[in-house]
Amino acid sequence: MNTDTDIVLDEKINIKVNEPKKYKVLFLNDDTTPMEFVIELLIGIFKHTETTATQITMTIHNEGSGVVGVYSHEIAEQKAVEATNLSRSQGFQLQIKLEVE
């Protein structure tokens, strides 16, 4: 066997997989949207229990905004649109924004 043709590979291939970014959905406090309606949205769209929905609603009321969920961009956007549409259909001006986590 001729050793002149042997090939030795000593390379390492590093593959870096980036996790997709997560987005926080935030509700902003306002003077027109009733707390009961916000709680209904949190339970119906964001799947919170009544207890956590009430806690988040109080945070929004007391601090001016609150995180209602963290999702992939597509899901965060869909839930925000759904909540906004329902809010507008009831005559409320609830403001919702997305932030990169």
Q: What is the per-residue pLDDT for 14?
A: 80
CATH code for residues 32-101: 3.30.1390.10
**pLDDT at position 3, please?**
56
Q: Read off the amino acid at residue 60.
A: I
Residues 6+ apart with CB under 8 A from 26: 65, 66, 67, 68, 96, 97, 98, 99
pTM of the model: 0.81
Task: Walk along the chain (101 residues) and give the pLDDT tens digit of each residue.
Answer: 555 667 776 777 788 888 889 999 999 999 999 999 999 999 999 999 999 999 999 999 999 999 999 999 999 999 999 999 999 999 999 999 999 99
